[in-house]
């Protein structure tokens, strides 16, 4: 595995890998989100209690799951960056952070828009909502730490440490609805034993989650390519690339 992974520590190879992967991610994004949204918003049946307003689930749940998914991938990249001192992994942390922050913001905003008509409040300081808000601040923290240092090396290290420390928040978000009394309802789709959601609604939801995952991946890849070029802009391979293009 080392032999296979090691070449990607080099910026040029990583850049090429991004280029190879990007079309697949874009295709999956386009197909899944188109299918998932049309199916979910137009064809899935209305909920017995919430009628049509439950349909925001097809945006809220994927973005919330991906806000946590993006954070875990960012943290894994941060561990690789700190332990193996691989520059590309550090760039990946910075590439993922704003994408994850955007997902968290989408989850919070759609959640508020859903909460107002259903619960009767835009915002409640319950454990789930608060911990998700902290996740947003963690993303902001990672980004601003990176940019706060004149020296990108130490900035990167500080951002990586914060990213790793923030992982503690992920289980708290996930289990908040079980550990404490919250206004937010429990998890729907991780409850495999009982059918908490009807298959006619579950399928479009799963397709949307896959689409959002590919979307996060695609955006992160584009950003990673950019970061690599920024860092390597004086290297011959970048000059070659630019003069060719």
Partner 1 sequence: MNPRRKKRLFAVLAVIFGIGSAVGLTLYALQENINLFYTPSELIEGKGPDKELPYIGQKLRIGGMVVPGSVDREETSLDVTFKLIDTGPMVTIKYHGILPDLFREGQGIVAQGTLVEPNVIEAFEVLAKHDEEYMPAEIAEAVKGIKHEKPKYNLNSEN
Query: Is residue 191 close enough to count as binding partner 1 by CB under 8 A?
Result: yes
C-beta of 109 vs 196, nearer to partner 1: 196
Measured from the CB of residue 220, what is the shortest distance to partner 1 in angstroms? 22
Q: Name the 3-class secondary structure at 183.
A: coil
Q: Which helix (H) or strand (E) holds 105?
A: helix 87-118
| Torsion angle defined by CA atoms of residues 5, 21, 40 and 190, in that order, rounded to the nearest 10 degrees | 0
Question: How many alpha carbons lie under 13 Å from residue 43 in its C-beta half-sphere?
Answer: 12
Site string for partner 1, 142-161 (x = CB under 8 A): -------------------x
User: Which range binds partner 1 by CB under 8 A, 13-21, 116-124, 145-153, 225-233?
Assistant: 116-124
What residues pair up with 51 in beta bridges, in sequence order?
A: 47
C-beta of 12 vs 126, nearer to partner 1: 126
Query: Is residue 117 close enough to count as binding partner 1 by CB under 8 A?
Result: yes
Token output for 130: 């608060």
Contact 173, 126 (CB under 8 A): no
User: Which range binds partner 1 by CB under 8 A, 5-13, 64-72, 163-171, 237-245?
Assistant: 163-171
- Chain positions 11 to 50 lying near partner 1, rule: CB under 8 A, are 45-50
Query: Is residue 127 close enough to count as binding partner 1 by CB under 8 A?
Result: yes
Nearest to residue 97, comparing CAs of 164, 142, 150, 65?
142
Contacts of 158 (CB under 8 A, 6+ apart): 145, 146, 148, 149
Distance CA 79, CA 32 (A): 31
C-beta of 199 vs 245, nearer to partner 1: 199
Query: Is residue 118 close enough to count as binding partner 1 by CB under 8 A?
Result: yes
Radius of gyration of the chain (CA): 20
Task: Select the residue interacting with partner 1 from 105, 182, 235, 241 (CB under 8 A).
Answer: 182
Backbone angles phi, psi at 198, to 5 degrees: -65, 140
Measured from the CB of residue 26, what is the shortest distance to partner 1 in angstroms? 30
- Measure CA 40 to chain center: 21
C-beta of 37 vs 119, nearer to partner 1: 119
User: Which range binds partner 1 by CB under 8 A, 104-112, 198-206, 212-220, 235-243?
Assistant: 198-206
What residues pair up with 231 in beta bridges, in sequence order?
A: none
C-beta of 28 vs 183, nearer to partner 1: 183
Q: Enumerate binding residues for partner 1 (CB under 8 A).
A: 45-50, 54, 57, 79, 82-85, 117-121, 124-127, 161, 164-165, 167-168, 172, 179-183, 185-188, 191, 196-198, 200-201
């Amino acid at each position: 595995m080392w032999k296979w992974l090691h070449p990607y520590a080099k910026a040029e190879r990583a850049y090429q890998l991004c280029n190879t992967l990007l079309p697949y991610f874009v295709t999956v994004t386009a197909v899944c989100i188109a299918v998932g949204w049309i199916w979910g918003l137009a064809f899935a049946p209305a909920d017995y209690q919430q009628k049509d307003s439950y349909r925001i689930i097809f945006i809220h749940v994927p973005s919330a799951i991906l806000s946590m998914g993006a954070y875990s991938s960012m943290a894994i990249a941060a561990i690789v960056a700190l332990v193996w001192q691989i520059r590309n992994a550090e760039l990946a942390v910075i590439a993922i952070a704003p994408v994850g922050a955007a997902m968290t913001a989408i989850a919070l905003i759609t959640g508020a828009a859903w909460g107002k008509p259903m619960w009767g409040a835009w915002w409640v300081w319950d454990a789930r909502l608060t911990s998700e808000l902290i996740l947003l601040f963690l993303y902001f923290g990672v980004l601003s730490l990176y940019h706060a240092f004149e020296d990108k090396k130490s900035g990167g290290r500080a951002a990586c440490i914060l990213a790793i420390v923030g992982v503690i928040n992920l289980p708290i978000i996930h289990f908040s609805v079980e550990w404490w009394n919250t206004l937010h309802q429990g998890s729907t789709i991780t409850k495999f034993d009982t059918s908490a959601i009807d298959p006619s609604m579950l399928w479009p939801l799963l397709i949307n989650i896959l689409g959002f995952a590919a979307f996060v991946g695609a955006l992160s890849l584009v950003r990673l390519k950019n970061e690599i070029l920024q860092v390597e802009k004086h290297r011959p391979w970048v000059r070659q690339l630019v003069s060719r293009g």
